[in-house]
Amino acid sequence: MPRISYCPRCATELVMRHDGGRDRQACPDGECGFVFFGDFSIGCAGVVLREDGGVTRALLIQRGQPPYAGTWQLPGGYAEHDELLTTAVEREVREEAAVEARFRDVVGFRHMIVGPSTNIYVVCRLDYVDGEPASDGDETAAAGFYSFDEMESMQGVQGISRWGIRHALESHPGSGLSVDDNGSDNRWQMFGLTDVDPRHWRG
């Protein structure tokens, strides 16, 4: 469990208190009531596929900065605390690769405990809209659409990126966790499986 010294709400020194089945750092100020449950983060990545001449390629970016500078991965990043996942992944694809794409569904996610933090990394499928891939010249060194064959000769394509692309290639668009329009607004969304009639996706 990570440790912090002072209450982030009222700056009082924290004490240990039994809460929810284990000892946790908590604010002794009764009116404040802050309890430290740990660090949580949500990451997202976008699988954007484009077909050209019978070959399906996936959008990848090359990292321009450490850690792992020079390696290739799906465009993505952290969702802000006040940002919906679908907005975050579309923004990251736009910022990192200059490609406009729309969220379609979630094809998988990874839950990882990393030292003092716990992270959920959601791999989303997006529909390509427009734009030619270009690096942002800062976080990304290059961007482009690549087939699995082409990835073989590229250095350091991230394993979870390949995993996400494969899941997207081997499932029907919309067959993953999709946003349920019923009741979603700009503060919350529900993601669920939808039965997909093959006649729809086969077009």
Applying CB under 5 A, which residues contact Zn ion?
7, 9-10, 12, 27, 29, 32, 34
Task: Give whichever of 9 and 200 is closer to Zn ion, judged by the CB atom.
Answer: 9
Q: Are 177 and 106 in contact (CB under 8 A)?
A: yes
Pairing of strands 55-63, 72-73: antiparallel
Residue 119 Cα distances to 30, 39, 112, 145, angstroms: 30, 8, 5, 27
Q: From the CB of 4, what's the least distance to Zn ion, in Å? A: 11
Task: Give whichever of 4 and 190 is closer to Zn ion, judged by the CB atom.
Answer: 4
Q: From the CB of 17, what's the least distance to Zn ion, in Å? A: 12
Q: Which of 45, 102, 109, 99 is nearest to 76 (CA)?
A: 45
Task: Give whichever of 32 and 120 is closer to Zn ion, judged by the CB atom.
Answer: 32
Q: From the CB of 14, what's the least distance to Zn ion, in Å? A: 8
Task: Give whichever of 12 and 65 is closer to Zn ion, judged by the CB atom.
Answer: 12
Tally DSSP H helices, then E strands, for the chain: 4, 11
Task: Give whichever of 9 and 102 is closer to Zn ion, judged by the CB atom.
Answer: 9
Q: What distance in Å separates the CA atoms of residue 189 and residue 175, rounded to the nearest whole number?
A: 17
Q: From the CB of 31, what's the least distance to Zn ion, in Å? A: 8
Find the Cα–Cα–Cα–Cα dihedral 86, 108, 37, 85, rounded to 10°. Answer: 0
Q: What distance in Å separates the CA atoms of residue 92 and residue 75, rounded to the nearest whole number?
A: 6
Q: From the CB of 155, what's the least distance to Zn ion, in Å? A: 48
Q: Are 98 and 133 in contact (CB under 8 A)?
A: yes
Q: From the CB of 1, what's the least distance to Zn ion, in Å? A: 18
Task: Give whichever of 25 and 161 is closer to Zn ion, judged by the CB atom.
Answer: 25
Q: What distance in Å separates the CA atoms of residue 122 and residue 107, rounded to the nearest whole number?
A: 8
